[in-house]
Structure 1
């Protein structure tokens, strides 16, 4: 069986080496890159199961690397950055990252987050459960087998988390899901305080991609003080 390979892209060699040291202890193969352009070259030439990206890198920053990755791949992406503001974190998640950690960081917490993301990724890569069927509502078609979404025949490009949220809601129309419930079911881990913003950011981006907003929503309806429901 092929060993799991993780890309660590950071222009600070000391940080990349520290991350590599801890992840190798977990049995992972590690490839390092010192800039964004090299990170893209690694991903295009080798099988990578998860990427840890710094945001402020030479050549291409982490946002652009993520954008290019998301054009072709569904691997988990974890941002590791000195940028600590909520806006930076929200931007990272909107761009397609699955998690965001700030520097300085606890290496063991990073390992735990890597394990969590890989566990979810491996579960997703297993043969599709026969109970997961194509969902259709009001011109929207959601295919779990192909992991695609179309609206009136036009493809809608979603990140893995956005897809999971939409499929969860659409698969249980009229049922109201709390933010905590969505986080636990989609992220597959215990809810924590910042998880509220994480879910809200993904919902906001999902609505925008579906051509709606909170004041005029067709598919995702906000139940104020409770959560979200599918209204297709």
Structure 2
């Protein structure tokens, strides 16, 4: 049974999420504060985290940063309705996806299932024959969700990894934001916008560049998207 950590300070929302998770066959673990969330994450080893950003004691952003220091487990953030800035900030600190309040429980369950499928596939792929893509001093192992730069492992979230792998596979050809959205999210999604991809790229640059302000691996193409600099 998959274990889901629900981090939500509003009791009515926390209870609603718990009921829907149980109905879908998951084991919910509930936290009402940021500090409790980090303690339960270490103790319970959840398969996915649903994280509200407005929390007492420690903010959701701080919780997300702490989790990302030690794990690539999927994180779905819950944000205020239509708050684009908050969504982008969540993605930039390592979240994989987001829903906005008020949200449909069915939509949340669908996003959980999709995130877990991707994560499970990546872990199962470890038993497959090793495929690798070489780009400058970086080696990408698509089947192992692994990126190595100059012999050092780079920790990318599942969606950051998908974006980077798609760009490397394009081998210097431009890839549009809309194409990346379609590949990663499986079609149109009203909750996804171009700046979502920009947030992933910003994170990737921070992790692979010595100087993120002077990109030498990924180039922005105005009005189009991105490409790797081969």
Rounded to whole Å, the distance in 2 between the matches of 1:142 and 1:35 is 37
Name 1:190's counterpart in structure 2.
Answer: 187
TM superposition shift of 1:140: 2.2
Rounded to whole Å, the distance in 1 between the matches of 2:129 and 2:220 is 27
Match status 1:11 vs 2:24: no
Cα 1:166–1:74 shift into 2, 3 Å: same
TM superposition shift of 1:66: 0.9
Higher normalized helix content (fraction of residues): 2
Using structure 2 for the length normalisation, give the TM-score. Answer: 0.88
Instruction: List alignment gaps of at least 5 residues for structure 1.
Output: none
Name 1:25's counterpart in structure 2.
Answer: 23
Structure 2 counterpart of 1:96, from 94, 97, 108? 94
Structure 2 counterpart of 1:80, from 78, 84, 88? 78
Name 2:63's counterpart in structure 1.
Answer: 65
Using structure 1 for the length normalisation, give the TM-score. Answer: 0.87
State the SS of the aligned residue for 2:140: strand
TM superposition shift of 1:131: 6.3
Aligned pair count?
Answer: 228
1:65-90 Cα deviation digits (max 9, x unpaired): 11111111111111113364211111
CA RMSD of aligned residues (A): 2.3
Cα 1:154–1:59 shift into 2, 3 Å: same
Rounded to whole Å, the distance in 1 between the matches of 2:100 and 2:3 is 23
TM superposition shift of 1:135: 2.6
Q: Is the 8 A contact 2:7 2:32 kept in 1?
A: yes
State the SS of the aligned residue for 1:171: helix
Rounded to whole Å, the distance in 2 between the matches of 1:82 and 1:24 is 25
